[in-house]
Amino acid sequence: MTAWRPARVAAVREETASARTLVLDVDGWDGHRAGQHVSLRLTAEDGYQAARDYSLASAAGEPPEVTVQRMDDGEVSPWFVDVAEAGDALEVRGPAGGWFVWDPHAGGPPLLLVAGGSGLVPLRSVLRTRVRSGDRTPVRLLVSARTADDVLYRDELAEPADGVEVVVTLTRGAPPGWTGRTGRLDRAALDALGSPPEREPDVYVCGPTAFVEQVASDLVAEGHDPARVRTERFG
């Protein structure tokens, strides 16, 4: 069996009140592709171990980063969000995943990225990989979040790279002064905001199961080729 690699938390960034990005320093790390995930394993003093899979948030070629959303009944995510500090030890397997991935290539199809909540994490890797590689693929990113305070990577989304259009919609009400969209990414919103099927975009949808089920079905109903719609669901 492939060995777990010793790793350390290199740095921690607060993203929201309930999510953090952790930069990892992994022995023998050999790089990853945008969209891939890693398994992270924690070991308690008495030897108890727990492992979970997390999407990588950083660009291909950057040190591995994960963004972890605290699950209130979780056994692993609270450690990352509430306890972990630079220098803390853990173990890493991966990267893994050969389907929900994107590699830069000149002349490739445009991208339609659709994120629900922390489903934004692997899509952030796509955006950063695109910029880092100098790729110019046109990208439209739709982000659905509950409230403005739940939006990950707010500063990055506010200043998208050339060729990247970002639409954030809030599903549980907007703060005073919010000029963006509100409401769910239903069929009408996808029709209005998404890339039309005629442009034949490659589509990546990531988020909670119910979100992905609905968005993927609506996109197919709108005319997108199911073979071009990649999905990743969690929860």
Partner 1 sequence: MGRVTTSRGFAPKHFRRPEQAEQERVPPGQYLAHGFPVLTVGPTPVVPPEQYRLKVVAADGTTARTWTLAELKALPAQRLTTDIHCVTRWSKLDTTWEGVPVDVLLEGVPPAPFLTAEAYGDYTTNLATDDVVGGRGWVVWGYDGAPLTPEHGGPVRLLVPHLYFWKSAKWLSRLVLRERDHPGFWERAGYHHRGDPWREQRYDTD
Q: Would you tell me which residues interact with partner 1 (CB under 8 A)?
A: 1-2, 6, 39, 41-45, 47-53, 73, 75-76, 78-79, 83-84, 88-91, 96-100, 209, 213, 216-217, 219-220, 226-227, 229-231, 233-235
137 contacts 149 by C-beta, under 8 angstroms: no
The CB-of-24 to partner 1 minimum distance in angstroms stands at 12
Between CA 72 and CA 158 the distance in angstroms is: 29
The answer to whether the Cα torsion of 104, 108, 110, 115 is positive or negative is negative
Beta strands 5-16 and 19-26, pairing class: antiparallel
Nearer to partner 1, 141 or 203 (CB): 203
Strand partners, 49: 43
Nearer to partner 1, 54 or 153 (CB): 54
Nearer to partner 1, 6 or 61 (CB): 6
The CB-of-44 to partner 1 minimum distance in angstroms stands at 5
The CB-of-11 to partner 1 minimum distance in angstroms stands at 16
Q: Element (H or E) spanning 229, and its range?
A: strand 229-234
Nearer to partner 1, 47 or 134 (CB): 47
The CB-of-93 to partner 1 minimum distance in angstroms stands at 9
Q: How many CB atoms lie within 10 A of CB 130?
A: 22
Strand partners, 125: none
